[in-house]
Amino acid sequence: MDEKSFLGSNTSLAVTKPEIPAVVRIDTWAELPVTEVIGSDYAAVIQLRMTVRAAIARGEPIYACPRCSVPVYLVSREDTRRFYFKHLHEDGNCPAVTRGGLSEKEINAQKYNAAKESPDHLRMKELIEESIKCDSRFAAPLVEKTWKGADGSWRRPDVQAQFGQQRIAFEVQLSTTFIRVIAERREFYLREGGMLVWLFKHFTEHDTRLTQDDVFYNNNRNAFLASEETLAASRATGRLHLECCWSAPTRQNNEIVLTQHRKIVSIDELTLDVERQRIFYFDFDQEMAKASVTSQQASAERLRRDFEAFWLSKPASNTQETLSQWYAFRRRFSEHGIQLSQYLGGDGTESLLNNLYSAKHGKVVGRSFKKFIEVAHRVAGGYKEHLWAFGLLLAAHNRVEQIWAEDKNSGKWEKKRSIYHPRIKAGDDAYRPDPRFNQLIGFLFPEIADGLGRYPVRTA
**What is the residue-level pLDDT of the chain in tens, covering all 460 positions?**
444 343 445 688 999 999 999 999 999 899 999 999 999 999 999 999 999 999 999 999 999 999 999 999 999 987 788 999 999 998 888 988 887 654 555 445 444 444 456 899 999 999 999 999 999 999 999 999 999 999 999 999 999 999 999 999 999 998 777 889 999 999 999 999 999 999 999 998 776 788 899 999 999 999 999 999 999 999 999 999 999 999 999 877 767 889 999 999 999 999 999 999 999 999 999 999 888 777 778 888 889 999 999 999 988 777 888 888 999 999 999 988 999 998 888 889 999 999 999 999 999 999 889 999 999 999 998 999 999 999 999 999 999 899 899 988 888 888 888 999 999 999 999 999 999 999 999 999 999 999 998 999 887 6
Say whether 159 sits in a helix, a strand or coil.
strand
Q: How far is CA 391 from CA 138, 376, 394, 455, in A?
A: 67, 9, 5, 11
CB atoms within 10 A of CB 377: 18
Q: What is the pLDDT of residue 106?
A: 45
Q: What is the pLDDT of residue 114?
A: 46
Say whether 248 sits in a helix, a strand or coil.
strand
Distance CA 93, CA 98 (A): 12
Distance CA 278, CA 287 (A): 16
User: 63-64 and 142-143 as β-strands: parallel, antiparallel, unpaired?
Assistant: unpaired
Say whether 245 sits in a helix, a strand or coil.
strand
Distance CA 231, CA 322 (A): 66
Q: What is the pLDDT of residue 83?
A: 96
Q: What are the structural domain ranges in the chain?
A: 3-100, 106-282, 345-452
Q: What is the pLDDT of residue 336?
A: 87
Q: What is the pLDDT of residue 345?
A: 84
Phi and psi angles of residue 458, each rounded to the nearest 5 degrees, phi first: -65, 135
The DSSP string of 68-79 is T--BEEEEEETT
Distance CA 143, CA 156 (A): 9
**What is 106-282's CATH topology?**
Trna Endonuclease; Chain: A, domain 1 (3.40.1350)
Mark residue 434 as left, alpha or beta (left: phi above 0; alpha: psi -120 to 50; beta: remaining).
beta
Q: DSSP assignment, residue 457?
A: P
Distance CA 371, CA 384 (A): 20
- Which residue from 181, 46, 199, 194 is spatially nearest to 124, judged by alpha carbons? 199
Residue ranges with strand state E in 253-327? 255-266, 271-273, 278-280
Distance CA 300, CA 353 (A): 18
Q: What is the pLDDT of residue 460?
A: 60
